[in-house]
Structure 1
Amino acid sequence: MLNIDKIRNGIVIDHIKAGQGIHIFNWLGLDKAPYTVAFVVNASSRNMERKDIIKIDNTIAINFDVLGLIDPNITVNIIENEKITEKIKLKLPEKVENIIHCKNPRCITSTEKYIPHIFHLENSRERTYRCEYCDEIRSAGDFRNAGQ
Structure 2
Amino acid sequence: MLNVESIQNGVVIDHIPAGKGMDIYRLLELESKTQSVALLQSVKSQKYGCKDLIKIEGETLPERLDILGYLDSQITLIVIRDGKVAKKYHPVPPQRLVNVIKCKNPRCITSIETNCDHIFELSPSGRYRCLYCNQEMPVGR
Task: Specify the TM-score bucket, using the shorter chain as the normaliser.
Answer: 0.7 to 0.9
TM-score, normalised with respect to structure 1: 0.73
CA contact (8 A) 1:41 1:52 kept: yes
- Once residues 104 and 64 of structure 2 are traced to their aligned partners in structure 1, the CA distance between those partners, rounded to angstroms, is 23
Q: Tell me whether 1:63 sits opposite 2:80 in the alignment.
A: no
2:83 matched residue in structure 1: 82
| TM-align CA RMSD | 2.9
Percent identity over paired residues: 37
Alignment of 1:1-148 (within 5 A): 1-58=1-58, 59-93=60-94, 95-98=95-98, 99-104=100-105, 117-121=119-123, 128-132=127-131, 134-140=133-139
> Post-superposition shift, 1:88?
2.0
- Once residues 41 and 105 of structure 1 are traced to their aligned partners in structure 2, the CA distance between those partners, rounded to angstroms, is 35
Structure 2, unmatched stretches of 5+, are: none
> Post-superposition shift, 1:97?
3.8
Amino acid in the other structure paired with 2:128: Y
- Once residues 107 and 83 of structure 2 are traced to their aligned partners in structure 1, the CA distance between those partners, rounded to angstroms, is 52
> Post-superposition shift, 1:63?
1.8
- Once residues 38 and 97 of structure 1 are traced to their aligned partners in structure 2, the CA distance between those partners, rounded to angstroms, is 26
TM-score, normalised with respect to structure 2: 0.76
Structure 1, unmatched stretches of 5+, are: 143-148
